[in-house]
Structure 1
C-alpha cells in the first residue's frame, strides 16, 4: 500500500495534485475526510472539527480558544446531540487526527494532504513525504486566477493560510513545515506543470514502496 504525505503552501495546487496522485496509485485521498472522521469519533459537529483543522482558513484562531464537546446518543435510531459538556481541547483533536492518519496509512494507504503528515508518519515504512511550494508572488497570481478575486485579496488569503498552517505544525510538533529535511521531494508546483508533479510523485512513491 502506497503512502504519500503532501505539505502544500496555499496556491500550489495541493488539492489538485493530491487526488491525481491518489488515483494513479489506487489509494484514497485524505483531506476533508479526516475532520469528518475525527468529528464522528469525538462526538462533535463537523463545524467544530473544521474549526480545529489546519486546512480551514480560520481554524487556527478558534483552535487555540478550545471548543465544546457535544456528546451524542441514539434515540429511536436517530442520533441526537446532548447539551455541551466537557471542553474539547486542541490537543485532544490533534491526537485523534494523528490516530486517524496512522490507522488509515496502516490499513489502506493513502495520500494525506496537510496536518503535519510528514511528521506524524515520519517512521511509517515506505512513506513518501512531499512539499509543494513556490514564490509568494506566483502563488498569489495562481490563487487570483483560480478564485477570481483581485490580487490584493488573493495575497491576504494566501498569507493568512500560510500563517495558520505553519503555526499548526509549530504549535503541536515544534517543527517548521518549510524545513526541507522533513521531505524526500520538494517541488515548485507554480512552475512545474501539474501532470509533471503528479508523475514525479507517483514514480518516487513506487520506488520507495
Structure 2
C-alpha cells in the first residue's frame, strides 16, 4: 500500500497536490477525515478535535504560536482552547491523531497532509516523506493570486500559518518541520508547476517498491 506524507508550508498548494497524488496512486487523500476519527475515538465533539488539529484554522498550533487568541484555560502549562467544557488534554488528541495516521498507513495506505506525518511514520516501511516549501515572498504572491486577496492579507495568512504549524511540530515533537533530514523529497511548488510536482512525487513513491 502506498503511503505518502506531505508537509506543506502555506502557499505551496499542498491541498491541491495531495489529492492529485492520491488519485494517481489510487489511495485515499487523508486530511479532514483525521479530526473526525479522533473525535470518534475520544468521544468528544468534532469542534474539540479541530481545536487541537494542526491543519485547523483555529487549531492548537495557532494557540501555541500566539497567532490567535481564543477562550482558554491552562492545562499542564499549555493554553488549551475550551469550546464549552474541558476536553481531554492536548497530548491525548496528539496521541490519537498519531494512532489514526498509523492505522490508515497500515490498513489502506494514503496521502497524509500535515500533522507531522513524516515524524509519525518515520519508521513505516515504504513511506515517502515530502516537503513542499518555497521562499516566503513567492508563497505570498501565489497565495494572493490563488485566493484573490491583497498582498498584505496574503502575507498575514502565510506568516500566521507558518508560525502555527511550526509551533505544533516543535512543541510535540521537538523537531523543526523545515529540516530536510525529515524528508526524501523537497520541492518548490511555486516554481515547479503543480502537475510536475505531482509527477515527481508519484514517480518517487512507486520507485520505493
User: With structure 1 as the length reference, what TM-score do the two structures score?
Assistant: 0.89
Unaligned runs of 5+ in 2: 65-77
**SS state at 2:79 partner:** coil
Is there any run of 5+ residues in structure 1 with no aligned partner, and where?
Answer: 71-83
Contact residue 57 and residue 160 of structure 1 kept, 8 A: no
Alignment: residue pair count = 195
Q: Is the 1:51–1:62 Cα contact (8 Å) retained in structure 2?
A: no
What is the match of residue 103 of structure 1? Answer: 103
Shift of 1:61: 3.9
Whole-angstrom CA distance in 2 between matches of 1:158 and 1:87: 29
Give the equivalent residue in structure 1 for 2:15.
15
Q: Is 1:65 aligned to 2:79, yes or no?
A: yes
1:41–1:22 CA distance, 2 compared to 1 (3 A): same
Structure 1 residue 142 corresponds to structure 2 residue 142:
yes
The CA RMSD over aligned residues, in Å, is: 1.5
Could you tell me how far 1:134 is from its partner in structure 2? 0.5
Measured after TM superposition, the shift of residue 69 of structure 1 is: 9.4
Bigger radius of gyration: 1
- How far the C-alpha of 1:50 sits from its partner, in A, is 1.0
Partner of 1:88, secondary structure, is coil
For 1:74-111, what per-residue CA distance to the aligned partner results, in whole angstroms no more than 9, with x for missing partners? xxxxxxxxxx4x64111000000000000000000000
For 1:119-198, list aligned pairs within 5 A.
119-198=119-198
* Residue 118 of structure 1: aligned partner: 118
| CA contact 2:62–2:163 (8 Å) conserved in 1 | no
Task: Give distance in 2, aligned partners of 1:87 and 1:103.
Answer: 23
